[in-house]
Structure 1
Amino acid sequence: MLKAVIFDDEYIVTEGLQMMVDWSRYGIELAGTAADGLSALQMVRELQPDIVMTDIRMPGLTGLQLIEEIAKEMPDTACIVFSGFNEFEYIRKALKLGVIDYLDKPITLEKIDEAISRTIARIGHQLEHTQLKSQVAANKEALLEKATLDLLMIGEQAVADWKMAFGEADANRVKGVTVFAATGNTERLEEHPSYRLVSFSYGKEWVTVAFHYDLPADQLWEQLTLRSPQMEESIGSGQTYADAADAAKSYTEAVRALRYAVFLEEKGWTRFEHAEDSFPHGLTGCEEEIVFNMRTGNKEGLLRLLDEYKHCMEAERLSPESVEQEVLKLAYIGYQVAKESGGDMKQQAIVPYRELGEMSSRDRMFEWLREQMELLHNFMREDKHAVKHNAVEKALAFIEKHYLESFTLQEVAEHVGMNATYLSLLFKEKVGTSYIKYVTKLRMEQAKMLLHKGMLVNDVSKKVGYYNYRHFTELFKKYAGVTPGQFREGHVGGKTHEPAQEVEQHE
Structure 2
Amino acid sequence: MLKAVVFDDEFIVLKGLTKLIDWSEYGVELAGTAADGLSALETFRKLRPDIVMTDIRMPGMDGLQLIEAIRSEAPDTMCIVFSGYNEYDYVKRAIKLGVVDYLEKPITIVKIREGIQKAVDRIHEMNEMSSLKQKWQQGLLEKRTLDLLLKGEEATGEWAAVFGGDADRVAGVTVLAYSDEDFRLDGRAEYRTVYASNGSESLAVLFHLDSVTDVWETELSSWQSSAVGSGRTYSSVGDIPKSYREALRALRYGRYLEGKGWIRFEDLGDSHSVNPQLSEREEAVLFDMRVGDKDGLMRKLDEYLEEFRNEKLDPEIAEVELLKTVFHGFEVAKETGGNTAEIMGPGYLPQMELRSMQTLDEMAGWLRREMEKIMDWILSVRQRSKHSAVEKAIAYIGDNFGRDLTQQEVADHVEMNATYFSLLFKEQMGISYIKYLTKVRMEKAKELLKEEMPIHEISEKVGYYHARHFSEVFKKQTGMTPGQFRSRGRGT
The CA deviation at 1:305 is 4.3
The residue aligned with 1:40 is none
Conserved? CA contact 1:447–1:460, under 8 Å: yes
Supply the AA of the counterpart residue of 1:395. Answer: A
Encode CA deviations 1:12-64: one digit per residue, 9 max, x unaligned: 99998888x3738x9358xxxxxxxxxxxxxxxxxxx622354769xxxxx99
| Equivalent position of 1:164 in the other structure | 161
Please list, as runs of the form range in 1=range in 2, the aligned pairs for 1:2-151 lying within 5 A after superposition: 21=20, 23=22, 27-28=25-26, 50-52=29-31, 54=33, 71-72=45-46, 74-76=47-49, 78=51, 88-89=59-60, 110=107, 114-115=111-112, 117-151=114-148
2: CA distance, partners of 1:288 / 1:54: 69
1:199 aligned residue (188, 192, 195): 195
Structure-2 separation of matches of 1:375 and 1:278 = 24
What SS is found at the alignment partner of 2:416? Answer: coil
Q: Deviations over 1:406-425 (max 9, x none)?
A: 20111111112222222222
Residues 170 and 209, structure 2, Cα contact 8 Å, conserved in 1: yes
Question: Quick one: structure 1 residues 115 and 381, their matched pair in 2 at CA, closer, same or farther if it must change by over 3 Å?
Answer: same
CA distance in 1, matches of 2:321, 2:117: 76
Match of residue 152 from structure 1: 149
Question: What runs of 5+ residues in structure 1 fail to find an aligned partner?
Answer: 7-11, 30-48, 58-62, 496-507
Which residue in the other structure is 2:75 paired with?
A: none
Deviation at 1:462, TM superposition (A): 1.2
What is the RMSD of the two structures over their aligned residues, measured on CA atoms? 4.5
Unmatched 5+ stretches in structure 2: 7-11, 71-78, 85-104
The equivalent of 1:296 in structure 2 is 291
Shift of 1:174: 4.4
Cα distance in 1 for partners of 2:394, 2:423 equals 14
Tell me which amino acid in the other structure corresponds to 2:175.
V
Mean Cα deviation higher: 258-267 or 483-492 = 483-492
Is 1:267 paired with 2:260? yes
Contact 2:289 2:332 in 1 (8 A): yes
Q: Which residue of 2 aligns with 1:228?
A: 221
Alignment check: 8 A CA contact 1:176 1:242 kept: yes
Question: TM-score, normalising length from structure 1?
Answer: 0.72
Give the letter for the 1:389 counterpart.
Answer: H
The answer to whether residue 247 in structure 2 is matched with residue 254 in structure 1 is yes
Compared CA separation, residues 365 and 277, structure 1 to 2 (3 A): farther
Is the Cα–Cα contact under 8 Å of residues 54 and 63 in structure 2 kept in the other structure?
Answer: no
Q: Name the residue aligned to 1:453.
A: 451
CA drift at 1:267: 2.8
1:27 match: secondary structure: helix
For each residue in 1:268-325, what CA deviation from the matched residue of structure 2 results, as whole angstroms up to 9, or x when unmatched? 33333444635664853254443322111122332344452696597552539x93x7
- Name the structure 2 match of 1:382: 380
Distance change >3 Å, CA 355–CA 476, structure 1 → 2: closer
Structure 1 residue aligned with 2:74: none
Letter in 2 for 1:183: S
Residues 1:170 and 1:316: Cα distance change in structure 2 (over 3 Å): farther
Q: Give TM-score, length-normalised by structure 2.
A: 0.74
Q: Write the mapping of 1:301-312 to structure 2, written as runs, cut at 5 A.
A: 301-307=296-302, 308=304
CA drift of 1:482 comes to 2.6
The number of aligned residues is 452
Q: Distance in 2 between matches of 1:279 and 1:230?
A: 25
Q: Secondary structure at the match of 1:405?
A: coil
Match of residue 423, structure 1, among 414, 421, 424: 421
Corresponding residue SS for 1:235: strand
> Which residue of the partner structure matches residue 206 of structure 2?
210
How far has the Cα of 1:81 moved from its partner? Answer: 8.6
* C-alpha spacing 1:352/1:284, structure 2 compared with 1 (3 Å): farther
User: Which amino acid in structure 2 is aligned with residue 23 of structure 1?
Assistant: D
Change (3 A) 1:109 1:265: farther
Tell whether the 8 Å contact from 1:180 to 1:251 is kept in structure 2 after alignment: yes
| Identical counterparts, % of pairs | 40
Q: 1:394 to 1:222 in 2, by over 3 A?
A: farther
CA distance in 2, matches of 1:415, 1:345: 21
